[in-house]
């Protein structure tokens, strides 16, 4: 046991001396979570609205004011003809165009339905769908007003659970959390694991009486402690800066973080066994990290991925961690809800650590 | 000129001999763009919705059927003795529709009735989509059943540029930009920092090649690789993503050339400033990838970035290139729409070139 502690202490000292490693445990994760949380927002607002009002009546102005009162749209300009409107839509100066026909007021006065044309730049499918919902909702609202006392026969009351303010950062921050742990964890671990190989001091390590297993655990334990401190930092930023709630059990969250950290260490160790130098670990990470991060459901919903990709995400530790983080933090779920994900995460972590330790050991011999 | 070409040839030879770098240069951009472009989307279909029908009448079932037939929703059955809220908490359903008792009776008697929708709003964007589509379905149902006749104002919506609202057509070109932002930059940074790390910059220093010639040779080699990647990625757009040029493709051609010049200069700048390959790659990862990913409007609109951060995005070349690529494949606005974006990329490229040249001269002094 004392052998193990001696080795672990040696690793800890080596990590502490390596100023770049310490910095890379603090600065990139903090910066990344801040950037992701602030910059990635799918909210649809301030869409540039162009209007052609051929009717020029009180009725048409009422419709236009209903549309522009909505924070989703910002009136960019009025156009004389639909052609001019179409041209600006084509060069990207507008997102939405509304054409009110010349007989709008007359048709309404006669009690006949009047049709308003809505032109949407649908290049961005998501924005287009939400914008279409808003335009139609606004017109439905006006219709209800015009119908007077006669309310619509069926009304849908919507209640938004867990995140009634629709704060997008809660989704992104909880999603990026796992990505940060795995990516930074694997980078730092790969850097420590490769050190002996790069400096050619493997022989010195082999001359010690410690067994290969002791060596690996002695390398992993200090990393684990350091990465858990990084996790604490990230949680603090998420709570203090983005106000992400912690509705579930903190112990459960920590358990999931531990699983995630172990997976990251396993991944890093695995990468280090593939590479010959620190350079190469960086380059190999380029092959592994982006797909791992993007196919995790951390930034975009897994349900929106193609059917054949969705089962593959089950093999991604970040996907399970994001699910746990969201359930525990935002929805306040307990173990009875997240146990399948937690089990999967633990299984993946053991698999990664065992496999990489095996490869590392084989390399030592 | 001859010296520039010789330098470029040497760089390309060096690349071809390095298998890892060659993989980075040719295989990875295509694979990554294909995978990301098809997988990443915000538009969820088949959202599991659970229905609690307290009415159990033909009319209430017709209302549920309206949800069942929509592409957005997939109705999941509510197990006995469970509340819809537990299914939401367990993540089995993203929304719950609750139909009250006397739904049919109230409708028949022309008394207004209310149905309730509970939405799991953890993912705000999906929640917004769910709310919008459930509202649309309910309005259509109400019009159908309530015999209220057509409403006074109707909307006729026309979707331009992407009438099928296919998310791949939007994200495919976006990830083309991401691929082209990462890989030429990484390769250029590696090629430059290698000279510093292995001190071969001293050999350059004593040779007759001038700083501009050396840098231009490196950039030329990087641009050749960048063009190959660009063509490969464009082929991917035509095949996998089913896109065609929507209009005049010349802004895309000119814009791509300038963009490749821009990112290769940026890579050379990083490589010259950091004479350590591992650190240079990390810096490019942070600077090139993260900025291109976060601040270019690739997935999420730039307009939503807080003001304090948004100004940075106008310095990010990928932000302009995203516009140019999407315009070429979707909107087809051509030069009148895109001239300023092409100019902006050119300007940023020149700044990066000047900075790279300065950093390189310092590198010679340091070595």
Query: In this predicted model, what pLDDT tens digit does every residue of B6-51 receive, in sequence order?
Result: 888 888 888 788 777 777 778 888 888 888 888 888 888 888 999 9
Nearest alpha carbon to residue B223 among B187, B170, B270, B196: B187
Residue B340: DSSP 8-state:
H
Neighboring chain A residues of B34 at a CB cutoff of 8 Å = none
| Chain A residue with minimum CA distance to B60 | A154
| Chain A residue with minimum CA distance to B332 | A90
What pLDDT, on the 0 to 100 scale, is given for residue B256?
A: 94
Average pLDDT over residues B227-233: 92
Neighboring chain A residues of B112 at a CB cutoff of 8 Å = 151-155
Nearest alpha carbon to residue B254 among B351, B353, B346: B346
Do A286 and B35 make contact, defined as CB atoms within 8 angstroms?
A: no
pLDDT one-digit tens code per residue, A111-138: 788 888 899 888 888 888 888 888 888 8
**Mutation to test the A interface, candidates B55, B155, B283, B299, most A Cβ within 10 Å:** B155
Q: How confident is the model at residue B95 (pLDDT cuts 50, 70, 90)?
A: very high
Residue A270: DSSP 8-state:
H
Neighboring chain B residues of A108 at a CB cutoff of 8 Å = 152-153
Neighboring chain A residues of B304 at a CB cutoff of 8 Å = 41-43, 45
CA pair distance A282, B164, nearest whole angstrom: 40
Q: pTM for the full model?
A: 0.84
- Segments in chain A below pLDDT 70: 1, 147-152, 365
A:132-171 residues touching chain B, CB 8 A cutoff:
132-137, 139-140, 142-143, 146-147, 150-164, 166-168, 170-171
Do B154 and A162 make contact, defined as CB atoms within 8 angstroms?
A: no
Residue B14 CA, distance from chain mean position? 32
**Main-chain phi, psi angles of B67, to 5 degrees:** -70, -40
pLDDT one-digit tens code per residue, B67-88: 999 888 999 888 878 888 888 8
Query: Which stretches of chain A are assigned E, i.e. beta strand?
Result: 47-53, 73-79, 96-100, 114-121, 154-161
* Bridge partner list, A77: A50
**Cβ neighbours of A111 (radius 10 Å):** 8
Do A63 and B153 make contact, defined as CB atoms within 8 angstroms?
A: yes
Give the fold, CATH level 3, of A47-146: abc type-2 transporter like fold (3.40.1710)
**Per the structure block, which two tokens stand in for A8?**
């672990």
pLDDT one-digit tens code per residue, B133-145: 898 898 888 888 7
Q: Where is A349: in which H helix or E strand?
A: helix A335-364
Are the beta carbons of A24 and A231 closer than 8 angstroms? no
Cβ contacts of B28 within 8 Å, gap of 6 or more:
A286, A287, B183
CA dihedral A67, A70, A76, A78 (to 10 degrees): 20
Q: Where do you find CATH 3.40.1710.10 in chain B?
A: 47-146
What pLDDT, on the 0 to 100 scale, is given for residue B150?
A: 65
What pLDDT, on the 0 to 100 scale, is given for residue A149?
A: 45
Nearest alpha carbon to residue B160 among A123, A136, A116: A123
Residue of A142, A153, A160 lying closest to B148 (CB–CB): A153
What pLDDT, on the 0 to 100 scale, is given for residue B367?
A: 59
CA pair distance B54, B106, nearest whole angstrom: 13
Do A135 and B167 make contact, defined as CB atoms within 8 angstroms?
A: no
Least confidently predicted of B121-130, B135-144, B206-215: B206-215
What pLDDT, on the 0 to 100 scale, is given for residue B149?
A: 61
Assess A38–B contact: CB distance below 8 Å, yes or no: yes
Residue count (chain A): 365
What pLDDT, on the 0 to 100 scale, is given for residue A337?
A: 85
Average pLDDT over residues B327-341: 86
What pLDDT, on the 0 to 100 scale, is given for residue A44?
A: 77
Min distance B235 CA to chain A CA atoms (Å): 20
CA pair distance A353, A268, nearest whole angstrom: 10
CA pair distance B53, B23, nearest whole angstrom: 56
CA pair distance A267, A362, nearest whole angstrom: 16
What pLDDT, on the 0 to 100 scale, is given for residue B146?
A: 66
Domain B47-146 belongs in CATH node 1.20.120.1200 = no
Residue of A153, A327, A331 lying closest to B107 (CB–CB): A153
Neighboring chain A residues of B127 at a CB cutoff of 8 Å = 160, 163, 166
| Chain A residue with minimum CA distance to B93 | A303
Are the beta carbons of A64 and A51 closer than 8 angstroms? yes
| Chain A residue with minimum CA distance to B305 | A39
Average pLDDT over residues B305-326: 87
Q: Where do you find CATH 3.40.1710.10 in chain A?
A: 47-146
Least confidently predicted of A292-296, B151-155, B190-194, B264-268: B151-155
């Amino acid at each position: 046991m004392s052998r193990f502690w001696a080795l672990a202490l040696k690793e800890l000292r080596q990590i502490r001396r390596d100023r770049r490693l310490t910095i890379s445990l603090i600065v990139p994760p903090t910066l990344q979570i801040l950037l992701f949380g602030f910059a990635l927002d799918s909210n649809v607002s301030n869409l540039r609205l162009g209007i052609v009002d051929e009717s020029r009546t009180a009725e048409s102005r009422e419709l236009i004011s209903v549309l522009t009162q909505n924070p989703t749209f910002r009136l960019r300009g009025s156009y004389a003809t639909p052609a001019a409107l179409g041209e600006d839509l084509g060069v990207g100066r507008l997102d939405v165009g509304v054409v009110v026909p010349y007989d709008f007021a007359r048709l309404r006065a006669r009690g006949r339905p009047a049709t308003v044309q809505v032109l949407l730049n649908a290049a961005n499918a998501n924005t287009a769908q939400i914008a279409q919902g808003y335009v139609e909702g606004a017109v439905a609202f006006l219709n209800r007003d015009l119908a007077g006392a006669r309310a619509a026969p069926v009304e849908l009351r919507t209640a938004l659970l867990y995140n009634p303010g629709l704060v997008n950062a809660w989704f992104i921050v909880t999603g990026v959390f796992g990505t940060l742990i795995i990516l930074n964890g694997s980078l730092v671990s790969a850097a420590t694991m490769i050190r002996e190989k790069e400096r050619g001091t493997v022989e010195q390590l082999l001359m010690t009486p410690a067994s290969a297993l002791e060596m690996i655990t002695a390398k992993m334990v200090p990393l684990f402690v350091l990465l858990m401190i990084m996790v604490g930092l990230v949680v603090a930023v998420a709570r203090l800066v983005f106000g992400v709630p912690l509705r579930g059990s903190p112990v459960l969250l920590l358990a999931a973080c531990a699983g995630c950290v172990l997976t990251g260490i396993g991944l890093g160790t695995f990468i280090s066994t593939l590479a010959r130098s620190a350079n190469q670990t960086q380059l190999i990470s380029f092959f592994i990290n982006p797909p791992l991060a993007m196919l995790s459901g951390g930034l975009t919903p897994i349900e929106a991925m193609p059917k054949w990709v969705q089962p593959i995400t089950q093999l991604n530790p970040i996907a399970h961690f994001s699910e746990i983080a969201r359930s525990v933090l935002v929805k306040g779920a307990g173990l009875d809800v997240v146990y399948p994900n937690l089990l999967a995460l633990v299984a993946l972590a053991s698999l990664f650590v065992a496999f990489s330790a095996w490869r590392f050991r084989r390399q030592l011999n | 000129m001859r010296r520039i070409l010789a330098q470029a040839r040497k760089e390309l030879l060096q690349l071809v001999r390095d298998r890892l770098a060659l993989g980075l240069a040719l295989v990875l951009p295509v694979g990554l763009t294909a995978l990301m472009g098809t997988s990443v989307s915000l538009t969820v279909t088949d959202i599991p919705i659970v229905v609690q029908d307290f009415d159990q009448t033909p009319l209430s079932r017709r209302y549920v059927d309206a949800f069942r037939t929509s592409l957005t929703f997939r109705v999941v059955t509510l197990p006995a003795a469970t509340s819809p809220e537990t299914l939401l908490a367990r993540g089995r359903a993203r929304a719950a529709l609750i139909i009250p008792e006397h739904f049919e009776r109230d409708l028949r008697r022309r008394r207004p009735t209310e149905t309730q929708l509970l939405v799991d709003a953890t993912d705000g964007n999906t929640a917004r989509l769910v709310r919008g589509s459930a509202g649309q379905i309910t309005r259509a149902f109400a019009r159908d059943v309530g015999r209220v006749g057509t409403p006074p104002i109707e909307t006729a919506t026309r979707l331009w540029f992407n009438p099928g609202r296919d998310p791949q057509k939007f994200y495919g070109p976006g990830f083309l930009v991401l691929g082209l932002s990462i890989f030429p930059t990484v390769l250029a940074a590696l090629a430059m920092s290698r000279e510093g790390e292995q001190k071969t910059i001293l050999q350059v220093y004593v040779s007759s090649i001038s700083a501009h010639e050396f840098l231009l040779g490196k950039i030329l080699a990087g641009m050749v690789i960048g063009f190959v990647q660009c063509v490969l990625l464009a082929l991917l757009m035509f095949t996998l993503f089913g896109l065609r040029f929507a209009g005049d493709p010349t802004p895309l051609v000119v814009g791509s050339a300038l963009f490749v010049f821009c990112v290769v200069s940026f890579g050379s700048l990083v490589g010259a400033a950091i004479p350590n390959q591992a650190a240079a790659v990390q810096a490019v990862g942070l600077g090139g990838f993260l900025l291109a990913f976060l601040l270019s409007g690739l997935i999420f609109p730039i307009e939503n970035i807080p003001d304090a951060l948004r100004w940075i995005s106008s310095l990010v070349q990928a932000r302009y290139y995203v516009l140019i690529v999407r315009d070429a494949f979707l909107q087809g606005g051509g030069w009148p729409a895109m001239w300023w974006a092409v100019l902006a990329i050119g300007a940023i490229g020149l700044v990066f070139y000047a900075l790279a040249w300065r950093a390189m001269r310092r590198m010679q002094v340091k070595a």
